[in-house]
Amino acid sequence: MAIFDKQQNPQHSEAFELRIPAKSTFSGDILTMSGARIDGVVEGNVSSEQGNVLLGPESKLKGNLAGRDIAVGGAVVGDINCAGQLSVFAGAQVVGNIAALSLVVEKGAVFSGNVSIGEIKAEHEGGRQNDDLMFLTLGGQVDEQDPLKGQQKPWIK
């Protein structure tokens, strides 16, 4: 999928029924069945159940993002869940976790988080089960037991 050309201009034939224009701010969650184009600022989650999502070069999203194919040209602070291809273009910034069927990151893009690529199977085949996770201590030694077991984990809400 090519949503931008080399000059970061839209090149996708899908009509974006939802548009947040540049110099606009939207606060709240967005759920659409079709495509969405964001060129402004959104503070909330954006989900396109059957369409593509395009974030233009000047866009800013503070919230989670979900869609079929997603192209990021601006900034995202939140997790991205992409059923198809996620494209992160030069100059874009993503801070959060990514789950996508495929991922393209151009040179010059900034990303901080974890990535999961490909189809995730419901059943574990030959791998460790969640209850068999191993934890790595700061000293680099493997600990079969959760070092924080029974303690509150501040990053889990």
pLDDT digits (tens, 9 = 90+) for 102-150: 999 999 999 999 999 987 555 444 444 444 333 333 333 444 444 444 4
Instruction: Find, among 91, 74, 67, 80, the residue nearest to 39 by Cα.
Output: 74
Can you read off the two tokens belonging to residue 113? Answer: 């988080």
State yes or no: pLDDT of 76 exceeds 80: yes
- Summarised one tens digit per residue, pLDDT across range 21-65 is 999 999 999 999 889 999 999 999 999 988 899 999 999 999 999
Cβ proximity of 64 and 49 under 8 Å: no
Distance CA 144, CA 125 (A): 21
Cβ proximity of 100 and 69 under 8 Å: no
* 147/68: higher pLDDT: 68
